Amino acid sequence: MAAPGKPTDDGKAPGADSGGLDLTNPRHVRALYLDTLGRTPDGDELALAMGSRPSMLLRLLCGSIGFWQHWYEEQLYYFLLLDNFRPHDPGPGQRLPDLLAGGELNALEAVRGIVLSSAFHRANPGNDTFVSVVFEQLLGMTVQREPALLEAGKRMYDGHRASLWGQSGKSQSDVVTITCDQPHFAERFLEREHSRIVGRAPERSELRRWTTELRESPSHFPQLVLGWLLSPAYSDRLQRLRRKSNSQFLQGLFVDLTGRPPDGETLERCRRALSAVADAGPLRSVIARVLLGGEHIDLPGRDDLSVQDLVVHVFQRFLGRYPGPNELETFITIFEQCECETDTLVRALTTHWEYQYY
């Protein structure tokens, strides 16, 4: 259990937001984990991170197997290869995240592999749909404005010889390969990855520079991400709360409560459900309540800590921040007066809207 923070002499909580990435601030550490691994850190990871330098921690996170597993899931989500359209699992050692973490594949090759998979083919049946999706998803094209290109792609898909951007082909895989050869493929990839991780679109000049770098050194994607997370843009983003994606919410909730992420099946069941409502708030609360009611949750009891330390502990563990004076006073008052246990405090935090942000 991480030791609860105490207010400093000037009354500020340790790690209070003061601008810039600050690993003594547990909220910043949680944000880094959510943006790189898609989940919050467990207690040990948090303690380790809070004693690290940012560049050192980010070298550990970016390019790790957890980083690539999260990246892979995000790509499947981007291509909507979900549920029945999820690609076949080739087994340990052959999975794309394994190959990426082992340096046997780079990110751009992995994207091409996903689009060449039978799952992608099944999810996008017919020449019009397949070619449109390839152009749109890989290059950001509006196919309605490029009817000649679309028709050429459809002919190529159907097995007839045709030309795309001056390259000849006559198969479905040729459509994908030629599209991935276009310079805009890497640029579009970096643009959406930057938006996903940093929460905003990149500057055009920076995007062009990163695109050149990635095309010259295709395995450098983790290093680019590391640079983004150390950038002023990311520090600026940390001054505001960003809404967790459904996957981040679920994985973070499980780690915060049980110390480990959910199994893939549970995650997918819950993610599907949350994705099926415009206002996921009520359903997120239902899931939090189910988990608190059913799983063994390792929470300190009434006798383990003073009430003040208990309240500070749950605020830091679940929100990554120290409670304000009014919050502290009210939580202590209620906890001392009611016949509730620590899980009541945790339930209040995990069903509050702030827990849905990071």
Partner 1 sequence: MTDQTHSHPPASGDLSRRRLLKQASLLVAAGLAPTAAMARAAAALNPAPYPATPALPGARLTERVVLVIFGGGVRSKETLGSGNTPNLDRIAASGVTMPRTVVQNLGHYGAASSILTGTWDTFGIRENGRSESPTLFEIIRREQGLPASEVWLSTSGGDQETNYAYSTASGYGAAFGANLIGGEGIFNAEFKELVVGQGGLRSHDASAEKTLSILRGAMETPLPIDGQEGLGNDPAAAARIEQYILEELRGDAATITGLGANDAKAMHVARNLLAIFRPRLLTVTLRAPDVAHGSYNDYVTTIRRNDEELGSLFDAITSDPGLSESTALFVLPEFGRNRDFNARRGLDHGDQSTELLNVNTVAWGPDFKSGVVDTSAVRSIDVAPTIVSLFGGRMGGRTGSPMKGLFA
Site for partner 1 in 247-276 (CB under 8 A): 265-266, 269-270, 272-276
Residue 263 dihedral angles phi and psi, to the nearest 5° = -70, 160
79: contact with partner 1 by CB under 8 A: yes
- Within 313-342, the residues that bind partner 1 by CB under 8 A are 321, 324, 326-327, 329-331, 333-334, 337-338, 340
**Binding residues for partner 1, how many (CB under 8 A)?**
76
Rounded CA separation 351/286 (Å) = 8
Cβ neighbours of residue 274 closer than 8 Å, sequence gap 6 or more: 246, 249, 250, 280, 283, 284, 287
Rounded CA separation 186/146 (Å) = 20
Contacting range for partner 1; rule: CB under 8 A; set: 67-75, 105-113, 123-131, 225-233: 123-131
Question: Cβ(187)–Cβ(32) under 8 Å?
Answer: no
Shortest distance (Å) from residue 111 CB to partner 1:
14
356: contact with partner 1 by CB under 8 A: yes
Query: Could you give the string, one character per residue 180-209, with x where binding to partner 1 holds by CB under 8 A and - elsewhere?
Result: -------------------x----------
Q: Which of 8, 55, 118, 142 contacts partner 1 by CB under 8 A? A: 142
Query: Could you give the string, one character per residue 80-99, with x where binding to partner 1 holds by CB under 8 A and - elsewhere?
Result: x-xx----------------
144: contact with partner 1 by CB under 8 A: yes
Q: Which of 30, 70, 284, 317 contacts partner 1 by CB under 8 A? A: 284
Of 15, 43, 17, 34, nearest to 229 by C-alpha is 34
Q: Is 15 left (phi over 0), alpha (psi -120 to 50) or beta?
A: left
Q: Which of 17, 42, 74, 146 contacts partner 1 by CB under 8 A? A: 17
Residue 240: other Cβ atoms inside 10 A: 9
Strand partners, 243: 357
